[in-house]
């Protein structure tokens, strides 16, 4: 099996940092972001943008479709933004131009001068912005953020080793409200220290077993400062998330929201609201009236407990996490050569400190990105190499995007002929894309049949992005 290259998308002038398949009404498209804050929403079939805008002034670290057409971005400019992309009808379809590339639109110039003789108003006129809301966040490291069911996990405001949990939306039946009016930012858990949580968990387990021993900082066996900074965070479900750390530890956390709920009434109310997955845009996120029990929420943080720990990747930092929903496992990649598989516990009443797990030596270091579907596992490495495996980890293919270059002559004598050398391009992400459902062709005219035949989104696709600003799409 070898992937078939279908096309290459070119438009970014900077290193691509994130890509995200974007689903609307059962149709798949692609969103990409780069190191200068530019965002492009691509039509995969036409190979052209649906919309282009400058979303941030710095490197975009997280790009995530959270639900119903809303797009979340997180950047090193200390902002998280949520964009209503689907309902944006007046966006630019022009590629970013060099004169606009480095304009700092969202920051205030200290000297009051405009960058590259281009005004911010000119940039906004050329590339209008979708409706959006802004959430300030810690940008001291390169850890991503993740979202599930109105809740957001981010590195803590004051310490990148710790994390915060936010509630960012309050359900409302007023669908005509703006996105900004619906934002209800609330930090429900602040500066959660994993090391203190670990000490508390182990101490409690020791007491239950009759062992009088408490972990102290002076006996810390870790080579780094405790677990180090957060590297990757991943929600598995609404009340369960995993964080990969600089030390190589993978830790699972369970959120118990029941402690923050009190006074449940048996009478159902018809004016309560929950997201409707069948309705797109803001109306789907906030506009579905359903019956539910009236609950009074008291001002109490949810209970977060540590339920899993594994150090199989230590001492290498964890740089990639993905969830395999078919096997209910977390797949973890690090700066080393080993890919590890972690079974998610079936119940969370007991802490699982597991020293062993399934691991595979891929014989190549720097596991930058991992993606999986029902039959294929794809791993991308720092240096641009992509490997494909079946679910039993038998290697199926290798691919490396090469950039031809001419070797430098050793002398000016003219005796040595220049030789062409192959130089690999640094990889950013690999993504396996769930194909569209094949539509029945309602018309038998030639144009409709050709359009249906050329629709590549009905097949299994592999999308790889690179630091030269290109995106390559394969059929797998």
Distance CA 120, CA 138 (A): 25
Neighbours of 407 (CB within 10 A): 11
pLDDT tens for residues 332-388?
Answer: 999 999 999 999 988 887 788 777 789 999 999 999 999 999 999 999 999 999 999
Residues 301, 202 share a domain: yes
pLDDT tens for residues 93-108?
Answer: 999 888 888 888 777 5
Distance CA 430, CA 56 (A): 23
pLDDT tens for residues 155-174?
Answer: 998 888 999 999 988 665 55
pLDDT tens for residues 314-336?
Answer: 999 999 999 999 999 999 999 99
Residues 129, 14 share a domain: yes
Residues 162, 58 share a domain: no
pLDDT tens for residues 223-271?
Answer: 445 899 999 999 999 999 999 999 999 999 999 877 654 444 444 443 4
CATH number for position 54: 2.40.128
Residue 89 or 313, more confident: 313
Distance CA 98, CA 115 (A): 12
Q: How high is the pLDDT of residue 345?
A: 85
Residues 145, 126 share a domain: no
Residues 169, 118 share a domain: no
Domain boundary, last residue among 115, 137, 159: 137
Does 34 have pLDDT greater than 90? yes
Q: Please state, in angstroms and as integers, the Cα–Cα distance from residue 4 to each residue in 400, 458, 463, 470, following that order.
A: 13, 15, 11, 17
Q: Please state, in angstroms and as integers, the Cα–Cα distance from residue 183 to each residue in 178, 235, 274, following that order.
A: 9, 21, 15
Residues 280, 173 share a domain: yes
* Rg of the chain on CA atoms, in Å: 24
pLDDT above 90 as % of the chain: 52
Neighbours of 258 (CB within 10 A): 10
Q: Please state, in angstroms and as integers, the Cα–Cα distance from residue 371 to each residue in 41, 49, 192, following that order.
A: 21, 24, 29
Residue 236 lies in a domain: yes
Residues 38, 25 share a domain: yes
Q: How high is the pLDDT of residue 358?
A: 93
Residues 114, 4 share a domain: yes
Strand partners, 9: 471
Q: How high is the pLDDT of residue 111?
A: 46
Residue 453 lies in a domain: no
Closest CA to 168 of 129, 130, 133, 131: 133
Residue 111 lies in a domain: yes
Residue 458 lies in a domain: no
Residue 424 lies in a domain: no
Residues 164, 54 share a domain: no
Q: How high is the pLDDT of residue 42?
A: 96
Residue 206 lies in a domain: yes
Cis previous bond, 248, omega within 30: no
CB 119 within 8 A of CB 146: no
Q: How high is the pLDDT of residue 213?
A: 59
Residue 409 lies in a domain: no
pTM strictly above 0.75: yes
What are residue 34's phi and psi, to 5 degrees? -130, -175
Look up the domain containing 356 and give its range.
140-383+385-393
Distance CA 321, CA 328 (A): 13
Domain boundary, last residue among 91, 118, 137: 137
Domain boundary, last residue among 363, 393, 423: 393
Mean pLDDT of all residues in 457-469: 92
Q: How high is the pLDDT of residue 269?
A: 41
Residues 294, 184 share a domain: yes
Does 402 have pLDDT greater than 70? yes
Residue 400 lies in a domain: no
Closest CA to 427 of 63, 16, 14: 16
Count up the domains in the chain and report the number: 2
CATH number for position 259: 2.130.10
In SS3 terms, the chain reads as: CCCEEEEEEECCCCCEEEEEEEEECCEEEEEEEECCCEEEEEECCCCEEEEEEECCCCCEEEEEEEECCEEEEEECCCEEEEEECCCCCCCECCCCCHHHHCCCCCCCCCCCCCHHHCCHHHHHHHCCCCCEEEEECCCCCCCCCEEECCEEEEECCCCCCCEEEEEEECCCCCCCCCHHHHEEEEEEEEEECHHHHHHHHHHHHHHHCCCCCCCCHHHCCCCCCCCCCEEEEEEEECCEEEEEECCCCEEEEEEECHHHEECCCCCEEEEEEECCCCCCHHHHHHCEEEEEECCEECCCCCEEEEEEEECCCCCCCEEEEEEECCCCEEEEEECCCEEEEEECCCCCCCCEECCCCEEEECCCCCEEEEEECCCCEEEEECCCEEEEECCCCCEEEEEECEEEEECCCCCCCCCCCCCEEEEECCEEEEEEECCCCCCCCCCCCHHHHHHHHCCHHHCCEEEEEECCCEEEEEEC
Residues 129, 149 share a domain: no
Distance CA 168, CA 185 (A): 4
Residues 253, 273 share a domain: yes
């Amino acid at each position: 099996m070898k992937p078939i290259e279908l096309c290459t998308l070119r438009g970014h002038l900077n290193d691509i940092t994130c890509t995200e398949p974007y689903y609307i009404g059962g149709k798949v498209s692609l969103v990409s972001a780069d190191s200068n804050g530019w965002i492009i929403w691509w039509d995969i079939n036409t190979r052209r943008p649906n919309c282009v805008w400058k979303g941030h002034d710095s490197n975009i670290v997280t790009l995530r479709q959270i639900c119903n057409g809303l797009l979340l971005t997180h950047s090193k400019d200390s902002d998280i933004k949520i964009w209503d992309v689907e309902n944006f009808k007046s966006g630019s379809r022009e590629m970013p131009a060099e004169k606009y590339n480095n304009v700092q639109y969202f920051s205030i110039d200290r000297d009051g001068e405009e960058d590259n003789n281009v005004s911010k108003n000119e940039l906004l006129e050329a590339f209008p912005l979708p409706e959006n809301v802004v959430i300030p966040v810690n940008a001291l490291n390169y850890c991503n953020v993740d979202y599930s069911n109105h809740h957001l996990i981010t590195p803590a405001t004051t310490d990148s080793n710790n994390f915060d949990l936010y509630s960012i939306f309050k359900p409302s039946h007023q669908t005509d409200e703006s996105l900004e009016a619906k934002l209800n930012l609330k930090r429900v858990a602040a500066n959660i220290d994993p090391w203190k949580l670990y000490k508390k968990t182990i101490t409690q387990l020791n007491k239950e077993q009759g062992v009088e021993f408490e972990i102290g900082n002076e006996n810390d066996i870790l080579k780094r400062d405790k677990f180090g900074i957060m590297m990757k965070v991943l929600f598995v479900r609404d009340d369960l998330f995993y964080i990969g750390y600089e030390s190589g530890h993978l830790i699972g956390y369970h959120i118990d929201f029941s402690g923050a709920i009190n006074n449940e009434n048996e009478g159902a109310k018809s004016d309560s609201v929950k997201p409707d997955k069948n309705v797109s845009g803001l109306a789907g996120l906030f506009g579905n009236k359903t019956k539910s029990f009236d609950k009074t929420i008291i001002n109490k943080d949810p209970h977060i407990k540590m339920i899993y720990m594994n150090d199989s990747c230590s001492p290498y930092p964890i740089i990639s996490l993905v969830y395999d929903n078919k096997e209910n496992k977390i797949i973890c990649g690090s700066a080393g050569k080993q890919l590890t598989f972690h079974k998610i516990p079936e119940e969370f009443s007991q802490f699982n400190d597991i020293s062993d797990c399934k691991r595979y030596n891929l014989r190549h270091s720097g596991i930058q990105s991992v993606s999986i579907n029902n039959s294929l596992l794809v791993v991308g490495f720092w240096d641009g190499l992509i490997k494909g495996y079946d679910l039993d980890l038998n290697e199926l293919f290798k691919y490396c995007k090469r950039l031809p270059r001419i070797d430098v002559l050793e002398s000016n004598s003219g005796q040595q002929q220049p030789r062409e050398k192959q130089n690999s391009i640094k990889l950013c992400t690999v993504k396996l894309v769930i194909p569209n459902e094949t539509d029945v062709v309602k018309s038998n005219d030639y144009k409709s049949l050709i359009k249906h035949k050329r629709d590549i989104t009905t097949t299994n696709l592999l999308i790889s992005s690179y630091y030269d600003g290109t995106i390559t799409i394969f059929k797998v």
